[in-house]
Copies of this chain bind each other. A is one copy, B any other.
Amino acid sequence: MTKAYEKPDVSVDVVLLTLAEKGLKVALHRRAKEPYPGSLALPGGYIHADEDDSLEDAARRTLQDKTGLAPRYLEQLRTFAGPGRDPRGWSVAISYVALVPFEELAAVPSTVFEFYSVDDIPALAFDHSDQVRAAVERVRNKSSYSTLPCWLLPGKFTLTQLQHTYEAVFGESVTRATFRSRLGIKVGDVQTGEAVDEAGVLIATDDYQLGNQRPARLFRADKLGLFKRASW
């Protein structure tokens, strides 16, 4: 079937967020090629129709090729498009959000990414600043009523680490009691090792983190838990 219209370019961009120095950071790389050589930008790439089985596949292939990363949390954000966002012509960018624990980024060569605070984003190529802002809004909103911040932590974490993660996402410090109340965590349950949060998805493991203070139980989360109401 012959088509009279010109097809737009289609790419997938990934807003890769991590937690470093007590703040939410976005991973940016410096573009080598036209357009905007030398500019900071999100990792991304064109859809490969002969290779990709889905948009998520394309996002994962792009990250894998550029960084070796395979994020546990990857979510479609929104699609940005139009005649003005790329000087090469009408283009469509399907934007994804990835959450990656900072520990996993240690395997990525240090020349690949620069990390910037999401609240102080430099000028970026294309409409990538808009994508970062939309991603941060989505992550903060969703974190206010779910266990999303768990995906910024390694597979097992203490409740104190989880508290610091929520604090970093929202840029707000709270007492331990306030934190536990917001998540519906009951101290007694922590001791028995039952699922302790209101949404029932924080799972106590038999492992402990040892340190200067008394051993802290390690928890994990296998699926995203939704709270009945925004708690943050």
Q: Which positions in A face B, CB cutoff 8 Å? A: 1, 3, 5-10, 34, 46-50, 52-55, 76, 78-79, 81-83, 88-90, 92, 94, 229-230
Whether B53 and A79, one on each chain, are in contact in the complex, defined by CB atoms closer than 8 angstroms, is: no
| Count of this chain's copies in the oligomeric assembly | 2
Whether B3 and A83, one on each chain, are in contact in the complex, defined by CB atoms closer than 8 angstroms, is: no
Residues on the B chain within 8 Å of A47, using CB: 5, 7-8, 81, 90, 92
Q: In angstroms, how far is the closest chain B Cβ from the Cβ of A48?
A: 6
Q: How far is the CA of A3 from the CA of B9 in the complex (A)?
A: 10
Residues on the B chain within 8 Å of A81, using CB: 47, 54-55, 94
Q: How far is the CA of A187 from the CA of B10 in the complex (A)?
A: 52
Interface SS of chain A? loop
Residues on the B chain within 8 Å of A7, using CB: 7-10, 47, 49
Q: How far is the CA of A9 from the CA of B10 in the complex (A)?
A: 9
Q: Please name the residue on chain B nearest to A48 by beta carbon.
A: B5
Residues on the B chain within 8 Å of A8, using CB: 7, 10, 47, 49
Whether B49 and A5, one on each chain, are in contact in the complex, defined by CB atoms closer than 8 angstroms, is: yes
Contacts A/B (CB < 8 Å), 6 sampled: A5-B49, A7-B7, A7-B47, A49-B83, A49-B90, A52-B90
Q: In angstroms, how far is the closest chain B Cβ from the Cβ of A157?
A: 28
Residues on the B chain within 8 Å of A3, using CB: 9, 46
Q: How far is the CA of A30 from the CA of B47 in the complex (A)?
A: 31
Q: In angstroms, how far is the closest chain B Cβ from the Cβ of A199?
A: 15
Q: In angstroms, how far is the closest chain B Cβ from the Cβ of A184?
A: 15
Q: Please name the residue on chain B nearest to A47 by beta carbon.
A: B8
Q: How far is the CA of A78 from the CA of B96 in the complex (A)?
A: 11
Residues on the B chain within 8 Å of A46, using CB: 3, 5
Q: How far is the CA of A230 from the CA of B55 in the complex (A)?
A: 31
Residues on the B chain within 8 Å of A53, using CB: 82-83
Whether B82 and A79, one on each chain, are in contact in the complex, defined by CB atoms closer than 8 angstroms, is: no
Q: How far is the CA of A81 from the CA of B49 in the complex (A)?
A: 11
Q: In angstroms, how far is the closest chain B Cβ from the Cβ of A67?
A: 21
